[in-house]
Structure 1
């Protein structure tokens, strides 16, 4: 396992993070604990969750029900100080007008809920889940800064922000003397490289940490999907995951086959190959492994320190 600092901070983080969106949603507490224990035993010290993660995500009106945070909270006892606990705020937690967004009202209420479910006095990295067009950034950043002053939050980060949104937030923080986002969490993988246009250069320029989610393209880069019509029974797509449908193109299926051949040449599976590509991108601080099975963690750990050659990077770039 490799470790580095999160952005400009002195906070040491592993280059693999455990993503827990499946906890209490697709897998029960027993399976979740097995995965959590394996991750911590392997040296992964970042646990990423959100108040939104839980069974409510699969209701017709998608809202947070907190099962993931609850499972983590119950099972981190005695080792809380060994992990960097990251959670998020902003997505719907109900149907009321103030049950979502990044207003001071919502943030102050939801941080208390997360702290209670996580059974902790503080959150190491509190991330805004997505940009809120309805709330001034000044209000959001002021509320987050107050949480840092109160000791309830150590660092703040953003998720799914465009480069201009991060730049605007940084300018406001500097101007008003507020806390600044130390990291960005975004989707990035071999099939989704839009981040390279602006977000990656911005993070490199401003020394912001970059936490990558969906490095497996929601399972597309596992090689389990052979066509849009063949869906394995235990797959996300078979469970109704809509976002993966965006990856089901003829071009992507062809690219996956080429990546698979390269993976076989290096004696790793396609998931390991795809994850390792992410870990070898200079802007990436940590890749979030959204585990629903134990081997998702053990496979990832096996290649966590694989340094790619320039030749291999060029081969992938040509596909």
Structure 2
């Protein structure tokens, strides 16, 4: 397993990490992800550790805290061998104090997460979304207190826009608050919006990307192809409305290219899609999920080998889309590109 520094921090994380959203699954969304109990979770944790995967990601909102509880049981006795990442901010109830990142909510949410996880510290605490109702200074000063108290070691965010993340980083520098070292983002061959603004920001500010849904909400598993009906057991039947949108024709073109490279390499479609992500700029770790041991072992096979430059170029070309304004001139007009070279080298666009 390869390990990388998480952003500008000294925290070393594996290029593959495990997403525990399938643990304790309940409800229409998380129940469709998976319903792994504590016994099976322990087995998955052991498989991960055997492969060098030491980072486990969860969130308080995953099955109303059940994911954290099951993860805590699964790592019991192994705390020193693992890194725990969890997230908070999204609503956990209907009350006025049950959502957001106010001082009161952050402190209570952290204490609740520690209790559910059965630990006295969280390696990486991430804000699951930007809270426009709370001043950024209040959020950062609260995180500063949690770090000083030893309850949190590193801080990060998830699903922030560029200005939200940059404003936070600027205020951290001004007041000496802990800087966000990670940004948990959606990024896949079927969803490359991360590259327009967030990737250049991450490269400039040294914020490591933790990639969620690397298989585009299950669309890059190899089971969805042009002219083939959605498999009956696919979670997309229950969860498509929650996931990022994907243009069908673009998706089918990408899968066609993945199929070709799978035939050339002897690797599976998911392994190729994940391997492509591992090589992208600013990516510190790709979060893989699994509903069973077979899926986990297959996803772990995405490391230990490399795509050729020619294969990477083919995947880049078939998956690239036109960036929105003001980013597209950098790809289309040489003068703009000279002033602001894109974080990812441009390929020819039709």
- SS of 1:232's partner is coil
Query: Aligned-pair distance for 1:94?
Result: 0.5
Once the two structures are overlaid, the 10-residue window that deviates more, 299-308 or 159-168, is 299-308
Separation in structure 1 between the aligned mates of residue 227 and residue 143 of structure 2, nearest angstrom:
42
Structure 2 contact 257–314 (Cα < 8 Å) conserved = no
Shift in CA distance, 239/314, structure 1 to aligned 2, threshold 3 Å = same
Separation in structure 1 between the aligned mates of residue 7 and residue 126 of structure 2, nearest angstrom:
14
Counterpart in the other structure of 1:176: 175
Structure 2 contact 41–74 (Cα < 8 Å) conserved = no
Separation in structure 1 between the aligned mates of residue 77 and residue 36 of structure 2, nearest angstrom:
22
Structure 2 contact 226–252 (Cα < 8 Å) conserved = yes
Separation in structure 2 between the aligned mates of residue 288 and residue 181 of structure 1, nearest angstrom:
18
Ranges of 4+ aligned residues in structure 1 off by more than 4 Å: none
Query: Aligned-pair distance for 1:231?
Result: 2.9
Separation in structure 2 between the aligned mates of residue 176 and residue 140 of structure 1, nearest angstrom:
12
The answer to whether structure 1 residue 123 and structure 2 residue 122 are counterparts is yes
Separation in structure 1 between the aligned mates of residue 236 and residue 311 of structure 2, nearest angstrom:
31
- SS of 2:305's partner is coil
Separation in structure 2 between the aligned mates of residue 247 and residue 33 of structure 1, nearest angstrom:
34
- SS of 1:66's partner is helix
Alignment of 1:193-272 (within 5 A): 193-226=192-225, 230-244=229-243, 246-247=245-246, 249-272=248-271
Once the two structures are overlaid, the 10-residue window that deviates more, 308-317 or 188-197, is 308-317
The answer to whether structure 1 residue 81 and structure 2 residue 116 are counterparts is no
The superposition leaves residues 83-105 of structure 1 with CA deviations (integer Å, 9 ceiling, x where unpaired) of: 11000010111111110011111
The two structures have a TM-score, normalised by structure 1, of: 0.92
Shift in CA distance, 246/38, structure 1 to aligned 2, threshold 3 Å = same
The superposition leaves residues 72-123 of structure 1 with CA deviations (integer Å, 9 ceiling, x where unpaired) of: 1112111101111000010111111110011111111111110000000000
Counterpart in the other structure of 1:19: 19
Alignment RMSD (CA, Å): 1.6
Counterpart in the other structure of 2:329: none
Counterpart in the other structure of 1:58: none
Separation in structure 2 between the aligned mates of residue 240 and residue 213 of structure 1, nearest angstrom:
15
Separation in structure 2 between the aligned mates of residue 191 and residue 307 of structure 1, nearest angstrom:
20
- SS of 2:184's partner is strand
The answer to whether structure 1 residue 316 and structure 2 residue 315 are counterparts is yes
Gap regions ≥5 residues in structure 1: 55-64
Alignment of 1:298-317 (within 5 A): 298-317=297-316
- SS of 1:222's partner is coil
Gap regions ≥5 residues in structure 2: 26-33, 319-350
Separation in structure 1 between the aligned mates of residue 250 and residue 235 of structure 2, nearest angstrom:
21
**Highest CA radius of gyration, 1 or 2?**
2
The two structures have a TM-score, normalised by structure 2, of: 0.84
Query: Aligned-pair distance for 1:241?
Result: 4.0
Counterpart in the other structure of 2:49: 40
The superposition leaves residues 56-75 of structure 1 with CA deviations (integer Å, 9 ceiling, x where unpaired) of: xxxxxxxxx11110001112
Once the two structures are overlaid, the 10-residue window that deviates more, 266-275 or 29-38, is 29-38
Counterpart in the other structure of 2:60: 51
Shift in CA distance, 287/245, structure 1 to aligned 2, threshold 3 Å = closer
